[in-house]
Amino acid sequence: MHTQITSVHLITKSGHLQAQTLGKEIQAWLEDQGCQARIVPSDNYVHVQPGCSSLPDFVLVLGGDGTLLRVAGRVAELGIPVLGINFGRVGFLTSLCPGEWEQFLNEVLQGRYRLSPRIILGYEVERESHIIHCGRFINDLVVGRSGLARLVRLSLWSNDKLMTHLRADGVIVSTPVGSTAYAAAAGGALI
């Protein structure tokens, strides 16, 4: 059983006129359905904290896969469902077309939808026994030197277990979402 949706954040791709226009149309429709709806450009959407009074029940992203990944990363730990309407080029994650929103949102508001969980990985970058950066990612993480292609020495650990030492230009670690995108971009099969 899904939680009843009474509050929605509509995150529009910043600077994208069609996404902003459709966002206003969807906002009016949601309000007619008795739902609170707030439109926020993706550049201004900050991480909302648990217990925050403005925490939505649902997030609708109007943009491309990159916009959806950035927004999903900001709300990942809160357990808020995220859906994307495709205004990008690829549409692997934002597969809903702009013309399909009303029928699909009607189903969502009636609780007739299926959640598809995604893996989120955490990371810490440590230098000389000090953590210099940490976070989480849904798609991929790239570690290397910025700009110049010079070798770096890396030690990769997983759950406090040393996996390997290596010298390389860098390393890319990806989740199943990220590896599928890499395979498709290279003309390979979807994994």
**pLDDT tens, residue by residue, 137-184:** 888 888 887 777 788 888 888 888 999 999 988 888 888 877 777 777
Q: What is the band of 190 on the pLDDT scale with cuts at 50, 70, 90?
A: low
SS3 of residue 189 by DSSP? coil
Look-up of token digits 């009607």: 106
Range in 21-35, 40-54, 136-150, 175-189 the model is least confident about: 40-54
Is 160 catalytic? The answer is: no
Confidence bin at 115 (pLDDT 50/70/90)? confident
Percentage of the chain modeled with pLDDT above 90: 27
**What's the pLDDT score for residue 18?**
93
What's the whole-number mean pLDDT along residues 100-112? 90
Could you tell me the end-to-end alpha-carbon distance of the chain, in angstroms, rounded to an integer? 30
C-alpha distances (whole Å) from 128 to each of 33, 141, 158 are 56, 21, 18
Q: Is the pLDDT of residue 191 over 70?
A: no
Q: Which of 11, 182, 39, 31 is nearest to 109 (CA)?
A: 31
User: pLDDT value at position 49?
Assistant: 57
pLDDT of residue 73: 83
CA distance readout (Å), 109 to 4, 64, 151: 7, 23, 52
* Number of other CB atoms surrounding residue 185 within 10 Å: 10
- Which of the residues 43, 57, 65, 169 is marked catalytic? 65
CB 104 within 8 A of CB 96: yes
Q: Of all residues in the chain, what percent carry a pLDDT higher than 70?
A: 94
Note the pLDDT tens digit of each residue in 49-90. 555 567 889 999 999 888 888 888 888 878 889 999 998 777
Stated pTM of the model? 0.80
Pairing of strands 152-158, 161-168: antiparallel
Q: Hey, what's the torsion of the CAs at 16, 22, 27, 29, to 10 degrees?
A: 180
Does 34 have pLDDT greater than 90? yes
Going by C-alpha positions, the residue among 37, 48, 88 that lies closest to residue 67 is 88
Query: What is the C-alpha separation between 116 and 68, in angstroms, rounded?
Result: 14
* pLDDT of amino acid 61: 94
Phi first, then psi: give them for residue 145, nearest 5 degrees.
-85, 140
Q: What is the pLDDT of residue 2?
A: 65
Reported confidence tier of residue 37, pLDDT bands at 50, 70, 90: very high
> For residue 45, how many other CB atoms are within 10 A of its CB?
19
Beta pairing class for 121-127 and 130-137: antiparallel
